[in-house]
A and B are shown apart, each in its own frame.
Chain A
Amino acid sequence: MSAPTAEPTSVRCPACRSDVSLDLESTCVTVCARCLSVLERSSVGLRAIGVSGKLRDHGSKLHSGLRLRIGRSYVNVMGRTQPEDSSGNRWDEWYVEQDDGTWAWLAEDQGRYFLTEPLGGGPTLNHAEVESLEPGARVMLGGEPFTVDERDQSVIRAAEGQIPFFFRLDETSTFVDLSGEGGRFATLDASHDPPRAYVGREVQASELVFPHPGDPTYRAPPPTGGRVAVEGKCGGCAFPLKVRVPAESVRVFCTSCGEAHDIDGDAVRHVRGVGRDIGKRQPFIPLGSEGTLFGEKLTLVGWVRRVALTPEGEFPWDEHLMAVQGGGFRWLVLNQGTLTLGRPIPAGQVAPSGARVAVQGVDFEPFTIGKARTERAVGEFPWRLTPGEVTETADWTRPPYALSREQHGTEANWVLARHVDAETFEAGFPGRAAPTPAGVGMAQPFKHAAALRVSLYAAIVAFAIFTAQRLTADNRVATRLEATIEATASEATPQSVFGEPFTLNGGEAITVRVASGVRSNWAFVDGALVNADTGVAQPFGIEVSQYSGVDDGESWSEGDPNGAASFSALPPGPYTLQLNVIRGPERSANAPSIALRAEVVEGDPSFGWPLLVFLVIGAATIVLLMMRSAHDRQRFAYSDFPRDAS
């Protein structure tokens, strides 16, 4: 790594006379590290415009003065602000100088990072247009399509280091967050005139490469990760309160009485008239439970009971807020005794298609649409959760996933959730029993789906075997035999017929075909292929019959004068075909004898094996499809888009 590009420049803080940094020509504001004065660059030098509030410790690994790599590019962290939105959520906006001398914005919020740069080319939207944007609206920025996630107001509460724009502390302004495909991200900032657009992408935590501890810009991250539990007492019942993620949580509800408290750093303040009595209602696992699901270490920090408001009544479900080790939150949702684990995704990842939506090209079908009310809560939340609040909800499903959208005011949140089966949950939370299912979950996959795939693959393999066998079979007539079966060939005195010697090549199935020409009669051919060298005989029997007549003016016929017998390959060698034939008494004086023709075909396999294989696969598949259909009907039992009985 190389040193920062700009030469450090120190000037005096006009408030406390301490040295403050003003390294870059483009720095607009710098914050005195000693007295926290916010100093604005002006034509007459530095001018104090206020004092920064205390920075909230989010446990970030970033800090002013750090040089790190993001992807393939090195940047110098010059400063940050901490804006707070209307729900009380506070995040870090880090200002980084890139090696080409330009600035970029690295936002860090609940374990997620967003790297953006100012969009060139002049203003994109005016104030009125920004203020009119609603969640889900499509906006073109720099020729790129984006979807509005939320429009909210923010205020900068605290700052440090050098900042590349002018601002006022505690001044409220509108911002709009937008997202696009492939992790693209944008923000419209209406604190400027005209509003500014910043465009970039979401950066994965793994893309941030921090310097070695020996690097002069390295500073060890807070050992607590910003998650020192804060303890206090409930203002309603004096029950002990514990805030496990105070850096991110802004409201906590008493686990005993449900009273609400706002969190500000280390302080917990009782908020009257917000919490609701929880009675004996508690999450199915206690707050503070730790476990691992889908590779993420989770801690249960909050529980909320919600109800779906439908014309048929109110249907409750539980949501468990899980703090992720390393930052961020997940939702463990318990509905009808089944679990899903959800994570927020940007609206730009969701492609609407009529009533359906698609995520990463995977189609989701609609499941419910309506409203839901937050009933009561315990534990902590990173926004000012208010029981009684009603949101608009919509769900889509594609097992093992479910996609949910909730909109409250000008903020819409998308959550992509995955079904958690009992085995996975109990493996991830040792000692905790999974809830007992009371139905089929929205995202619950058909548990024998793999068997259906196996059926498909097996059918393909079976068809390949069948085709290959048919294409490569010799289908060679090894011998033919013709004889006249006299009327005297009875059971007591069968007529023997012997064919000429012939050779079998071996390795392929044998079929003996008989064409008898019987009319209103029957014959039974009791035969054998006899190996002339070894004396081994392969017996077979073929019955043929044919009857016809006229009853009540309608002609009829039944039976088949032709027949065949198949058997496994015989060893190669010389063979003879030997037949003993018996027949029924002749009723017609005009045709006292039966013309019998027989032939031995080598390499004409019967349909016995393929019939058996396809029968087994087909029967199993039909049973599986019926089971899946029943599963889906149960799954959609409480959907607004129910499956019919087909």
Chain B
Amino acid sequence: MKLDLRTRPSKASKVYAVSLAVLLVLYGHAALTGSELNDDERDTIPSEERASSGHSRPGGFIYFPGYRGGK
């Protein structure tokens, strides 16, 4: 008789394995695409405002989307 040290995985082990697999897939995807956790939400400035002098977002910061360098 050949010794077989394997045992039947518990249901909790299967759930854990699937959970870790999902986590690793997310991590791998993040590594490939350069994604980070907890990004601040991006702010899309309406095109009609880009040419204006500034765009205000909550918090009071004013972007200058039309700024392309220089003083």
Taken residue by residue from 27 to 46, chain B's Cβ proximity to chain A (1 for < 8 Å, 0 otherwise) reads as 11011011111111111111
- B1 is contacted by which of A345, A509, A539 (Cβ under 8 Å)? A345
Assuming A450-B10, A569-B33, is B67 touching A538 (CB within 8 A)? Answer: no
Taken residue by residue from 467 to 503, chain A's Cβ proximity to chain B (1 for < 8 Å, 0 otherwise) reads as 0110000000000000000000000001010101100
- Count chain B CB atoms within 10 A of each CB in A399, A507, A578, A617 and give the residue with the most: A578
User: Which of A30-38, A170-178, A381-389, A457-465 lies at the interface with chain B?
Assistant: A457-465
Tell me which residues across on chain B come within 8 A of A609, comparing CB atoms.
27, 30-31, 35-37
Assuming A509-B36, A535-B45, A568-B39, is B31 touching A530 (CB within 8 A)? Answer: no
Task: Tell me the bound Cα distance from A450 to B9 in angstroms.
Answer: 5
Which DSSP category, helix, strand, loop or mixed, fits chain A's interface?
mixed
CB–CB A537/B13 < 8 A:
no
Tell me which residues across on chain A come within 8 A of B30, comparing CB atoms.
609
Interface size class, chain A: 35 or more
- Count chain B CB atoms within 10 A of each CB in A345, A566, A606, A609 and give the residue with the most: A609
CB–CB A498/B64 < 8 A:
yes
Which DSSP category, helix, strand, loop or mixed, fits chain B's interface?
loop
Task: Tell me the bound Cα distance from A608 to B46 in angstroms.
Answer: 31
Chain B contact residue count (CB 8 A cutoff): 51
User: Which of A145-153, A237-245, A441-449 lies at the interface with chain B?
Assistant: A441-449
Tell me which residues across on chain B come within 8 A of A468, comparing CB atoms.
31
Find residues 568-603 in chain A having any chain B CB closer than 8 Å to their own CB. 568-569, 574, 576, 578, 580, 603
The answer to whether A508 has its CB under 8 Å from any CB of chain B is: yes
CB–CB B10/A447 < 8 A:
yes
Tell me which residues across on chain B come within 8 A of A622, comparing CB atoms.
none
Known contacts A538-B42, A578-B67, A616-B23, then 10 further A-B pairs from the complex at CB < 8 Å, ordered by chain A residue: A448-B13, A454-B17, A498-B64, A528-B61, A538-B40, A539-B40, A566-B36, A567-B39, A609-B31, A616-B20
Show 30 A/B contacts (Cβ-Cβ < 8 Å), sorted by A: A416-B1, A447-B10, A448-B13, A450-B14, A451-B16, A455-B20, A458-B20, A465-B31, A468-B31, A469-B31, A498-B67, A501-B68, A528-B63, A530-B45, A530-B64, A530-B65, A530-B67, A535-B55, A537-B57, A538-B43, A539-B43, A540-B40, A567-B36, A569-B35, A580-B61, A605-B31, A606-B37, A609-B31, A613-B23, A617-B20
B-side residues, CB < 8 A to A, are 1-3, 5, 7-10, 12-14, 16-17, 20-21, 23-24, 27-28, 30-31, 33-47, 49-50, 55, 57, 59-69
